[in-house]
Each structure stands twice: as structure tokens, then as C-alpha cells.
Structure 1
Amino acid sequence: MSTMVIEQKLKSKLSKFFKSHKKAELTPTYLYYLEIKFHIHPVLFPKEKKIYQSKENLIEHLETQGKLWRETEIKVQFDKEMVNEETTRIYICPFTGKVFGNNTHPDPQDAIYDWVSKCKENKERVGGGMKVKRFFVSEDPEVIKNYIKERKKPVVKTVFSSAITGKLFNSKRAVLDDFVNNHIKAMTLTEVQNQNRFEIEEKFLELISTHFQQEKIQEFVDMLSEDKEFAPHVERWLA
């Protein structure tokens, strides 16, 4: 008589497994059982050519080694000012108020011509239906003063860079999401057992070796044989 007892959650999952794998062999069934019982969700990390027990194990390992993300700082610069205290002439769009200063733009007159010719708010037309290129020019310090805005100082922001790709992310969570979605591959325990291209992480290999033994498998078979729902599968394996 088996000393192992099937928990209800395990029994339910095994039932679903057999329904979708009606002729499942013993080895893949036992490996599926191990996945459920020990919460094994293998992932391949191609960069290291290594398989880990789960993404959580892999992430913990990489974070401990400082190989997943790095905290860094960036300087956020706001829009360049168009008019300042040293501006002596400005060119103004009469339709939007857009302004160009003679000391903040390399060619403000060409810039204002280009702006009004493409301005959506410019409804005025000349012969041929072309937009009128009309604008204002002022050298009056009092007028110019109206367009001077206090410029915001640059802001230093903490962000996170991926140690895998070097890309910047706004949060550590975003780095982890990118890593999980793009840099690892989920596997089944059966796929792990059937491959020989990749190394299996040491602790994960130890777990597999401990439970993938003849006596453990026999206990599993005995346990299933005592349940009338699973007994037919055992009989098929032993036939």
C-alpha cells in the first residue's frame, strides 16, 4: 500500500491531464506530477544557455549577481526657450502666437515663413489658393517682454537600465516585464528531461535527481493504482 496520498488539488489537475493526454506514458505523467507538487515552472535563459526551475528563481539569481537591472540617473531637459532677455527682435505668427527670436533661432525669418505657410489656423489665401505668408515683427522691448517665459530647470530622474539590453525603463517592474516577455522561454519538465543542449541550474538539477528515482516513481504508481479513476492508466503502463 502506498504511503503517498493524492491531494485534491493534485487529483484535479491529474484528471485534466489524463483527459487531454488519454494515452500518456508514465514518465511524462510523473514529470507533470512533479511540476504541480513542487511548483516547477522551468524557464530557459538563452544568454546563459541554462535552464532554471522557475522565472522567480532566475530573477532572484540575476538580481543577486547584479546582472538584471541597474539604477541610473538621467537629466530631463525642457523645451528650448524661444525668447529670452537677450532677444532684440521677434517674428510672430498672427494665427497661433508662435514666436521666433533673433538670438534663439539660426534663421528666424525663414522659420516664420515656413511656419505660417503650414499653419492649420491660417485660413487666409492669396491668388491660386496659397496660404498668405503674413506675420508680425517687433523690436519693442515691452512687446518682446510679453513672450519671455521662465524656463524650467532640468530635472534629474532616477530610471533603470536593463543589464541584458542596455535599454532604459521608467521602473524596475518595467525592466522585469521586458525580461520575462522577451528574454526567457518557458519549458515543461518533460522538455527539460528530453534535451541535452542546455545546462540545468545546479539546485534545479538536484531537485530533479532527488525525485526522479525508481523508488519515487514506484510510489507514484502505487498511489495512482489505489484510486479507481487512475487505476486504468496504471494497468496500461504495466501491461
Structure 2
Amino acid sequence: MTKGIEISADLSDKLQHFLHETPEVELVTAYLYFIQNKFKLHPVLYPKNKVIYQNAEDAVRAAEKTNPLWKEAEIKITFSRESVNELTKKIYICPFSGKVFGDNTHPNPQDAIYDWVSNCKENTERIGGLKVKRFYVSEDPEVIKNYLDKTKVKEPIKRTVYSSALSGKIFNTKESVIEDFKKNYLKPLSLSEVQSQNRYEIEESFLEFIQKQLVEDKIAQFVEALADKKEFVPFVEKWLA
């Protein structure tokens, strides 16, 4: 005899809330909501690859198989409270001299960094005989903190940081690059959204999981489990009508 589906008290509460918030929801959508919560799924879409993954960690692993999400970079740090202070949120860094422009300490920091690297004496990189206009950008508070005035330090220092392969922005740690990727390059989806769309590919193992769950017998067991709980009877009756 096939074992029926068990619905924990916590899942029951979540399902009740969901059904009362969306009373016209169809049976399959309710079932997928149950499955998503039961297995603690957090599907994400990686639009660049046009693939949906079971969770952000799977997306990170897949992305790094193609190209690393980060690479090491070396920056030179000079200290000046005129350029960076506690209110600075974004900085533009000259990789040759360590000169930095803050978003709150200069009226147009992007133009300023272009002008600076174009004339920087330490910039020896050339393309077509002209100095390259290469610079770094960072919004990582830990990177910005490195540039705060340190009165005991007289000379610039060098430090290894990590550059995002997607945005080119600089981060203090590899973990920060990964978190930026998860936050800005992945789109969270519900399991129902995953199942109902046909625009994007679903990662193979995730698709296999969905197909194993989305079968008539398991949906029937789900309905039977709900029918045993009086608070769900009105919804069951509507689905079976």
C-alpha cells in the first residue's frame, strides 16, 4: 500500500495562509507550494544562461564551471580623508597610483578618474600609443574602509582584492563577489512559476525532481491528506467539483 503524504503542523499553517491569501488558486499550484515548502526549495533563474536552478548555490556552481565569477586583483591604497570618509558609498580607484575618488567627496568622480588615469605618470599601459583608461570601481564597504585615513601610514600599500567577472567591481573577499552575484544576477522564482513557464531551460536534476513530484498519485495523496483536515475541506471540495 502506498504511504500517504503527511503534512506537518508548520506546513499546514503555511498552506492555510497561502490558500486564504489566494482563494482562487488551482490544485496544482497549491500542491507545488506545498512541495516547495516541504523540501525547502529556493528556485532561481540565471537570465544570462537562461537556466533555472533549484537554488542559488547550484547556480553559482554552474556559472563557475563556465567562467570563474571572480579573479584576483591588486590595488594600491593611498590614504586621504579628502577622498574617502565614513559616508562614502562608492569609490573609483586608479590601479597604477592608488588615487581614489569618492562618490560624496567629488562632484563627478567618474570623469575625475578618467582624467586621472589618462595623465597618471605611473600608468605605463598603452593601446595604440595612448594611455589606457583602466580603473576599478567598488561599492563594498570593506574595500572602502581600506581607504579611510590612517595617520600612522605614510606610504601607499598594496592589497589583494577580488574583481567580479560580471560587473568588474572590486570586493574585499571572494565571498562578497558570490553574494553580489546571488543578489544582483539571480531572480528568485516560486516552484509554480518554474513549472508554468516555457521560456527558460530547467537544470536537468531539478527538472527530474519536479517530474517525480508532479505525478497524479502524489497529487491525489495531497488532496486526501487535506481532506482529513476540516480547515482545508472547502478548498478540496472546490477542486473536486
Could you tell me the TM-score, scaled by structure 1's length?
0.64
Distance apart, 1:55 and its partner CA:
1.5
SS in 2 for 1:209: helix
Give the conservation status (yes or no) of the 8 Å contact 1:2–1:223.
no
1:2-81 residue pairs with structure 2 within 5 A? 3-63=4-64, 67-77=68-78
Computing the radius of gyration over CA atoms, which structure comes out larger, 1 or 2? 1
**Residues 151 and 33 (structure 1 numbering): CA distance in 2 closer, same or farther, change over 3 Å?**
closer
Distance apart, 1:69 and its partner CA:
1.9
CA–CA distance in structure 2, aligned partners of residues 224 and 2 of structure 1: 15
Q: Report what 2:238 is aligned to.
A: 236
CA–CA distance in structure 2, aligned partners of residues 151 and 8 of structure 1: 60
Residues matched between the structures, number: 169
Give the conservation status (yes or no) of the 8 Å contact 1:2–1:222.
no
Q: Report what 2:123 is aligned to.
A: none
Distance apart, 1:63 and its partner CA:
4.5
Distance apart, 1:18 and its partner CA:
1.1
Q: Is 1:156 the equivalent of 2:158?
A: yes
Give the letter aligned to residue 40 of structure 2: H
Q: Pick from 163, 168, 171 the counterpart of residue 169 of structure 1.
A: 171
Q: Percent of counterpart pairs with the same letter?
A: 46
Q: Report what 2:228 is aligned to.
A: 226
**Residues 47 and 78 (structure 1 numbering): CA distance in 2 closer, same or farther, change over 3 Å?**
same
CA–CA distance in structure 1, aligned partners of residues 12 and 233 of structure 2: 13
Give the letter aligned to residue 10 of structure 2: K
SS in 2 for 1:74: strand
CA–CA distance in structure 1, aligned partners of residues 39 and 12 of structure 2: 14
* CA deviation vs aligned residue, 1:51-97 (integer Å, no higher than 9, x gap): 11112322243356653222332233567xxxxxxxxxxxxxxxxxx
| Root-mean-square deviation over aligned CA pairs | 2.3
Give the letter aligned to residue 54 of structure 2: Q
* Divergent runs of 4+, >3 A: 60-66, 150-154
CA–CA distance in structure 2, aligned partners of residues 15 and 6 of structure 1: 12
Give the letter aligned to residue 3 of structure 1: G
Distance apart, 1:237 and its partner CA:
0.7
| Structure 1: 5+ residue stretches without partners | 80-149
Q: Is 1:178 the equivalent of 2:180?
A: yes
Q: Report what 2:133 is aligned to.
A: none
Give the letter aligned to residue 57 of structure 1: D
**Residues 229 and 63 (structure 1 numbering): CA distance in 2 closer, same or farther, change over 3 Å?**
same
Distance apart, 1:29 and its partner CA:
0.3
Distance apart, 1:184 and its partner CA:
1.4
Q: Pick from 208, 215, 220 the counterpart of residue 210 of structure 2.
A: 208
SS in 2 for 1:23: coil
Q: Report what 1:97 is aligned to.
A: none
CA–CA distance in structure 2, aligned partners of residues 28 and 167 of structure 1: 40
